[in-house]
Amino acid sequence: MKFGMRKPSLAKSFKARTTAKYKRKVKKALLPGYGKKGMGMIKNPKKAAYNKVYKKTTFSIWDLFK
């Protein structure tokens, strides 16, 4: 695994900022595990473990401006 600076994705960034608050509230009301901490480890442990390591070993371009 090679780690370093994450490549920024404008499409994903835009999607994250424009997903409506009401949409998340509806999902949280309908889906029992939606938005709960640790659900990724239950659903897909391999992916959750990879993401945890990835997040700790890489940084975003926006982190440089903090």
Residue 4 lies in a domain: no
| 2-18 average pLDDT score | 84
Tokens standing for 34?
Answer: 């939606």
pLDDT tens-digit series, residues 37-60: 889 899 899 999 999 999 899 988
Cα torsion angle, 18, 19, 23, 25, sign: negative
| 3 occurs within a structural domain | no
- How many domains does the chain divide into? 1
> Which residue's entry shows tokens 């595990």?
33
pTM beyond 0.85, yes or no = no
Residue 16 resides in a domain: yes
Domain assignment of residue 27, yes or no: yes
Indicate the range of 9-13, 20-24, 32-36, 62-66 predicted with least confidence: 62-66
CB 6 within 8 A of CB 60: yes
